[in-house]
Structure 1
Amino acid sequence: MSDTTVKKRCVYFLGGYEPIPPERQRERYIRELSRSGRVWSAKAEVGPLELAPERMVGTWQIAASGPNWSTGAAYKSLLWHDIVLSDFARPGWQRLFRAVVAFGDLILTGTAFRYFRVNWRYGLFFAYPVFLLLAFVALSIYVASFLPALGAPLPILTVPIAAILVFTLLMVWPGRFLMLDYMMDDWIFGHELIHRARPEFDRRLEGFAQELAETLRQGDQDEVVFAAHSLGCALKVAVVDRALQLVPDFGKNGERLNLLSTGSSILKIAFHPKGGWLRDAIRRVSANPAIFWIDYQTMADPISFYNVDMLKVLKLPDTGRPFIRRVHIRDMLEASTYRRFKANFFRLHRQLVMGNEKRYFYDYYMICCGPLRFETRVLKPETVVPRFAPDGSLIDPVPAEKTA
C-alpha cells in the first residue's frame, strides 16, 4: 500500500466490573473476531493463552490478513476478574450494609445528582438498585403489618422478624433475577475505588502500569493501543498516568500511545469530591502530547455518559483529548439482531467491544487486528469502509489532489 500500514501492533485491554476469567475472555474474543472477519472478508488465527500470573496479564497472539495485507497483534488483557469474584463471595448481610453506605455517600456528597445533571440515563442506572432496595423494604413492612390482624402473638417481635424474612426472600427472588446483588457489588466497588480503600487493588494497577511501561520502553511496535471499556476506562487513566511517570522520556522521539475508551464511566469516579486523584490523572494524561485519545460514545448505551465532554464537566483544561466520536449501534448490526438486543441494556453496553455484522467505520476487532492505523480510523472515519474491497483487499487511498 502507498500509505503506511500497521504490521505489528500491541493491544492492551482493561475491562469493566465483570467476573470473566482469561480463558472465557479468549473464547469470546475468538467468537467475535470470527464475526468481524466475515464482515471484512479477512482471515485471522488466534494463538494460545499465555498467562503472566505475577502481573495478572493474559496474552494471545493474533495473525490477521486479507489478500494484500497482513497484521500481527499481541492482545494483552489486564486481569482483575479474581477481585470481582471475591466481591461476589461476600455474605449477603455484608453486601447490603456496604451498599447502603456506598449509596448514602454518593447521595449525600451530591455525586448522584451530578450523574443526573449531565446524563439522566446514567442517573437512572445509579437509582435502579436504590429504588429496588427501598421497594423491597416497603413491601416487607407492608406484608408483615398484616400479622397483628391475623392474630399473631407478640407482634412487637413477630412483625419485625416477618419483615426481615420477607425482605430476605425478596433479595433471593426476584432480587437475583433483577441483578440486584451484582449492581450492589458494582457500586460498592466504585465507592471503594473513589476512596482508594483497597490497597491490594492499587498494587494490581501498579503491576499493570509496569507492564505497559515495559512495552513503551521497548518501542518495537508499529502501534500500541490501550483499549478500555466501562469502569475499565477510569482504571486505564490511572494505569497510563503511572506508566508515563515510569517512562518520562516516552514521546520525545515522536512515539504515540493510543487510548480507546468505550462505554466510559470515568465520571462515576471523577465526579465524587474524593475523586480528585483521578481528576489529576485525567488532567496529566490529557495534556501529554504523546497521547492520542478517543472516546467513542453511543446513545444506545444507557450505562455510559453519552454526549458528555468529560473535560468540560470536570472543569479541566481543554486539551482536545480525548476526541469524542459518536457511533450508531444500529449501523453495526443486522436489523433483527438490533431488535433482539434493544431491551438488553448490558448487551448494548458491551457492543462496542463485540463483533460487527456490517461494515462500519468503528469496528473493535479491525482496530485490534486490521492494517489501518488507529489515527486514520479516528481522524478520517469516512475513508475507512471505502478502503476495503469486497474481497478484503486494502485499496490505495486516493491522492488528495485527485479529490479536489
Structure 2
Amino acid sequence: MSSQTNQPRVRKRRVFYIPGYDPFPPRRYRELYRSESQAQAEISGYEISVSAKQRSEVFGWRVTSVQDGERVHTDVDVLVWSDIVRDSMTGSILSTYLQLARTAWTYISTGTLRRLMGLRKGPVITALYPVGMLLLQLLVALLVAWATAKLLVPMVGLWALVPAGILAYAVLRWFRTIDNRLFAYYLMHDYAYSAQLKGETPPQLQARLDTFQDLIKGALTEKVDEVLVIGHSSGAHLGVSVLADLTRDCGVYDRGPVLSFLTLGQVVPMVSFLPNAHRLRADLLFLSQQPTVAWVDITAPGDGCAFALCDPVAVSGVGSPDKKWPLVLSAAFTQTLSPERWKADRWRFFKLHFQYLCAFDRPGAYDYFRITAGPQTLAARFAGRAPSPSRIDQPVSKYTTVHA
C-alpha cells in the first residue's frame, strides 16, 4: 500500500464493491452501473463504457472512461454474500415473528434503541417500520379469524376455530407474497441478522469476509494505481472489518497501489452500538488511525435509511487523539438532484438509499463514476476538503469496549 501523501494519477484501478443486506444476484449492480454511468456521462460531459469480464471467479465488469482528457481502465468486482442473505430469509412466518420479538428485545433491553433514537430518527423509524407493519398484519389476521369464528360458532361450535385459523394463516401468507411492495419481512430479516449475536459477526459471514480480504490482498500485488473498496449500507461495516484485518496483516509499507475506502449510506451504529460488537468497535478504532488507507464516508440527510453525517467512529465511542478518518461528507440530495427529481423521489426511501450509486442532475464533489472510473485517487479527489459542518461526532454508544 502506498502512502496517501504521494498520490499518482490513476490509469488502472481495481474496485471491490461490498453490497448491503441484499438477496438479489450481483448482475443487478452491473446493470445499474451501466445505465447510470451513461446518464452521468451525458450530464457531466465525459466518456464511459462498460463491458463484461471474461472467465472470472468473482462477478464483475470492466469500465473504460475518458475524463479530463485521460483514459482510465477499471475492473469492478462485487464481493458477493447474497447467498448468506437468502439463507437467512428462508424462515417460516412463525419464525419471523419470533425474530421480531428477539430483535426488539435485544435493542430495547440493552438500551441501544434509545441511544440510536438520540442519534438519527430516520433510520430508527425505518427499523421500527417492519415491527409495526408485521404487528399490523397479525392484527388483521386475528380480526379475520375473530369475525369468522363469531359467524360460525352458532352453527358448528368450537369447530369454527379451524376455518378461522386457516383464514388467519391465509391472510398472513398473502401479506408475505406482497412483501416485494411492503418490505416488512425483508427489513425484519435484515435487522434480525445483525442483532442475532448482539453485534458479533456470524461465523459463516466471517469466513466470507476472510475470502474478501484475500481477494483485496491479491489486488494489492497487481500493477494498478489504486485499489478502491466500496461498502454500501450494511456493506460499510463489513468493509471496515475486512480492511482493518487486511491492514493488520500487511502492515504499513510504501509500495504498491494506493488503498482507498469509500462508505456510502452507512448504518454502522445499528451494529456497533450493540453490546457484543467488541470486534467491530476495535476495527473502527484501528482503521480510523491508519495513514495508508484514505477513508471517505458519504451520506445524505435525505436518505432516511442511513445514519446521515454521523461519524461512525466517533458516535461509536472509539474516537482517539490519533483519529485520522473518516472524512464525513454529504451527498446533499436537495442540491445535487433537480427540484423536480427531489420532489418525485423524496418519499421513495429505498430509491434514495441507492442514489449514491446513481447519476446526479447537478453533481458536486461526489460523483460515483468519477470516483470509480476517473483519473484521481479517492484521497486526491477530496484533498483539502473540510468535513461536513453538520456532522455528528460526539460519542453516543452505551457500549465502547473493544477486543483486539
Normalised TM-score (structure 1)? 0.84
State the 1:363 CA deviation.
0.6
Equivalent residue for 1:325, pick from 316, 329, 340? 329
Bigger Cα displacement from structure 2, 338-347 vs 372-381: 372-381
Bigger Cα displacement from structure 2, 362-371 vs 169-178: 169-178
Distance across 1 between alignment mates of 2:20 and 2:197 = 13
Go from structure 1 to structure 2 and tell me whether the alpha carbon gap of 1:97 and 1:252 turns closer, same or farther (over 3 Å shift). same
Equivalent residue for 1:341, pick from 324, 338, 345? 345
* Unpaired stretches in structure 2, ≥5 consecutive residues: 1-6, 387-404
1:249-328 alignment runs, 5 A limit: 250-252=252-254, 256-318=258-320, 319-328=323-332
Distance across 2 between alignment mates of 1:231 and 1:252 = 31
Indicate if the aligned counterparts of 2:199 and 2:272 stay in contact, CA closer than 8 A.
no
* Unpaired stretches in structure 1, ≥5 consecutive residues: 383-404
Bigger Cα displacement from structure 2, 131-140 vs 155-164: 155-164
Identity %: 24
AA at the equivalent of 1:238 = S
Distance across 1 between alignment mates of 2:214 and 2:125 = 37
State the 1:165 CA deviation.
3.5
Alignment-derived partner of residue 402 in structure 2: none
Alignment-derived partner of residue 41 in structure 2: 37
1:42-121 alignment runs, 5 A limit: 42-50=46-54, 52-53=56-57, 57-66=58-67, 68-121=69-122
AA at the equivalent of 1:84 = V
State the 1:107 CA deviation.
2.1
Distance across 2 between alignment mates of 1:193 and 1:75 = 32
| Post-superposition CA distance 1:363-396 (Å, at most 9, x none) | 11110001233223223569xxxxxxxxxxxxxx
1:1-400 alignment runs, 5 A limit: 5-50=9-54, 52-53=56-57, 57-66=58-67, 68-146=69-147, 149-150=150-151, 152=153, 158=160, 162=164, 165-166=167-168, 168-170=170-172, 172-173=174-175, 176=179, 177-192=181-196, 194=198, 196=200, 198-216=202-220, 218=221, 220-248=223-251, 250-252=252-254, 256-318=258-320, 319-380=323-384
| Post-superposition CA distance 1:338-386 (Å, at most 9, x none) | 222111100001101112233321111110001233223223569xxxx
| Post-superposition CA distance 1:80-136 (Å, at most 9, x none) | 122223334433333333333223222222222222121111111111111122223
Number of residue pairs matched? 375
State the 1:337 CA deviation.
2.4
AA at the equivalent of 2:38 = S
Bigger Cα displacement from structure 2, 168-177 vs 331-340: 168-177
Indicate if the aligned counterparts of 1:143 and 1:163 stay in contact, CA closer than 8 A.
no
The alignment's C-alpha RMSD in Å is 2.7
Indicate if the aligned counterparts of 2:100 and 2:192 stay in contact, CA closer than 8 A.
yes
Bigger Cα displacement from structure 2, 162-171 vs 93-102: 162-171
Distance across 1 between alignment mates of 2:141 and 2:27 = 42
Go from structure 1 to structure 2 and tell me whether the alpha carbon gap of 1:363 and 1:67 turns closer, same or farther (over 3 Å shift). closer
AA at the equivalent of 1:130 = V
| Post-superposition CA distance 1:292-351 (Å, at most 9, x none) | 111112110010111322222222133131111122113333333222211110000110
Go from structure 1 to structure 2 and tell me whether the alpha carbon gap of 1:284 and 1:107 turns closer, same or farther (over 3 Å shift). same
Indicate if the aligned counterparts of 1:233 and 1:262 stay in contact, CA closer than 8 A.
yes
State the 1:66 CA deviation.
3.9
State the 1:199 CA deviation.
2.3
Go from structure 1 to structure 2 and tell me whether the alpha carbon gap of 1:67 and 1:106 turns closer, same or farther (over 3 Å shift). closer
Bigger Cα displacement from structure 2, 97-106 vs 163-172: 163-172
Normalised TM-score (structure 2)? 0.84
Distance across 2 between alignment mates of 1:111 and 1:161 = 42
Indicate if the aligned counterparts of 1:23 and 1:49 stay in contact, CA closer than 8 A.
no
Distance across 2 between alignment mates of 1:193 and 1:350 = 27
State the 1:189 CA deviation.
1.9
| Post-superposition CA distance 1:253-311 (Å, at most 9, x none) | 59642111110011111110011111111111112221211111211001011132222
AA at the equivalent of 2:115 = R
Give 3-state SS (helix, strand or coil) of 2:227's partner.
strand
Distance across 2 between alignment mates of 1:13 and 1:350 = 13
Indicate if the aligned counterparts of 1:137 and 1:167 stay in contact, CA closer than 8 A.
no
Indicate if the aligned counterparts of 2:199 and 2:275 stay in contact, CA closer than 8 A.
no
Give 3-state SS (helix, strand or coil) of 1:259's partner.
strand
Go from structure 1 to structure 2 and tell me whether the alpha carbon gap of 1:27 and 1:254 turns closer, same or farther (over 3 Å shift). closer
Indicate if the aligned counterparts of 1:332 and 1:358 stay in contact, CA closer than 8 A.
yes
Bigger Cα displacement from structure 2, 112-121 vs 294-303: 112-121
Go from structure 1 to structure 2 and tell me whether the alpha carbon gap of 1:129 and 1:22 turns closer, same or farther (over 3 Å shift). closer
